Homo-oligomer: A and B are copies of this chain.
Amino acid sequence: MCVNHEELIPQFRSYLKKMADYHSAIALLEWDARTHMPKNGIVGRSQAIATLSGEAFRMSVSEQMEQFLDQLGSHTEQLDPITLRLVEESQRTFDRSKKIPPDRYEAFVALTSEAQSVWEVARENNDFATFAPFLESIVDMTREFVDDWGYENHPYDTLLDQYEVGMTVSILDELFSGLRKDTVSLLNKIEAKPHIHTEILERFYDPEKQKAFSEFILREMGYDFQSGRLDETAHPFATGIAPGDVRITTHYYPHFFNAAMFGSIHEGGHALYEQGISSDLIGTPLHMGTSMGIHESQSRFWENTIGRSYEFWQCYYGDLQSYFPESLGDVTLDEFYSAINAVRPSLIRIEADEVTYNLHIMLRYEMEKGLIANTLSVKDLPELWHESMKTNLGVTPRNDAEGVLQDVHWSGGMFGYFPSYALGNIYAAQFTQAIERDLPDFKDRIKHGRLLEIREWLGQNIHQYGSLLKPAEILKQATGETIDAKPLVSYLQQKFSGLYHL
């Protein structure tokens, strides 16, 4: 068959652009539902999101798409690199999606959209019972999807593959088992030392000033407010609505400093990734982060490697004191640096320190495996959560709001997502080693607030590619390595040996 690529490629690109427009509208409908939508808008909103998602889904599995993929896929030698990747990614989505009946998918989107609102109220009221039936339906439907997709070894593998191509239970079990051992060992040494005092973080921090200081730091990082905005939501998130419109949210607590500050930097890290993707990829499904793990590596890198470093606060602590003279005027840089890095097993994942954070992830990872393998049921989650927290972290939630209800992910049906956070920490440490190789004065640059130069490195080595390269390719190209938890362990050992005089 003779294919006229000169006509076909623009048609394919235009088809993908239309899908991108649907996803742009969906992203705004979801952002608005969590920021500004009046309460009674939820039913209409869920339906609109379901309709648009269903339509984008249909386009990804349509006969038209099949024809594009057949015709372009049989002449890959004639394709430019971007079109080649577009065909490959579209084929991957086609193969996965073709196995799900469109009406099941649409029902799942409607269910999770409503469940997220139910979860918000349930969390506020510490009321797992209201949320449980929604979660049961979500788990049931997810198991159906897993059966439709099929899997080789563990049913959870195919869920992981959605967020991190090629990731499996077998790889994760090994990575996590080493990381857990080293983490527990480090944690035991830290726990034997005197606690670092963190009371200063619970003084009064005027939310308006927190907002202003967050905006200041985001600008220093290179976040472009002409192409984004910062709002407040219950649970912080970043969302790319369009190439020139990447929004972030945070949450201000008047008596807790860390949440908004490090939440803003974290989400800002995500946003810099999206804002830094090459404009060549606009209007295609490659104009997004290549995986959730790589995405998290960017947010965790900014939040921890930069935002919780001594050098960062050598540069900005004076500014911070001038925003909060009454709460920080009598606190030295070293006291502040210790407080924001204090290690103490705690209940809430997003407020966890760098050492114990991955233990929170592993707890969720084990539960998700159980739910999907049908060896664990939703009704047993609150009890198991309490026990696991006690066993793994030595602390016990007082209620479900501090336990099983704390995260938004399950209400959105995002099983397989949580491991991305630990992968993000692992990748971030590997990237940091590469940055230190390329920029030997890395720490000095942080100390002088030359954050834009660090962003530049990330842009060159990671951001610009969007999804043009796969996670392992990005990692290999930037660091020369394959995935490895050792740099993370070294980083943690070195940083916390200093802090705790180990």
Query: Which residues of A are at the interface with B, using a C-beta cutoff of 8 A?
Result: 17-18, 21-22, 24-25, 28-29, 32, 36-45, 47-48, 50-52, 55, 224-229, 241-245, 247
Contact = CB atoms under 8 A, between A and B. Distances in A.
Given A32-B32, A36-B36, A229-B36, A244 B42 contact: yes
Nearest to A18: B51
A219 to B, nearest CB: 14
Contacts of A247: 38
Contacts of A227: 38-41
Contact of A38 (B18, B42, B51, B229): B229
Nearest to A225: B38
B25 A245 contact: no
Given A18-B51, A48-B24, A52-B21, A244 B36 contact: no
Q: Which of A28, A51, A55, A224 has the most CB of B within 10 A?
A: A28
A88 to B, nearest CB: 24
Oligomeric state, in copies:
2
The 5 closest A-B pairs by CB, nearest first: A44-B242, A40-B244, A41-B245, A21-B51, A40-B227
Given A28-B32, A40-B226, A41-B245, 17 more contacts: A17-B47, A18-B51, A22-B51, A22-B52, A24-B47, A25-B29, A28-B48, A38-B227, A38-B245, A40-B224, A40-B243, A40-B244, A40-B245, A43-B244, A44-B242, A44-B243, A44-B244
Contact of A28 (B17, B28, B47, B244): B28
A132 to B, nearest CB: 26
A10 to B, nearest CB: 15
B21 A47 contact: yes
A51 B28 CA distance: 15
A37 B38 CA distance: 18
Q: Which of A18, A41, A55 has the most CB of B within 10 A?
A: A41
Contacts of A40: 224, 226-227, 243-245
Contact of A41 (B39, B50, B244): B244
A242 B32 CA distance: 13
A47 B241 CA distance: 12
Contacts of A25: 25, 28-29, 48, 52
A225 B55 CA distance: 31
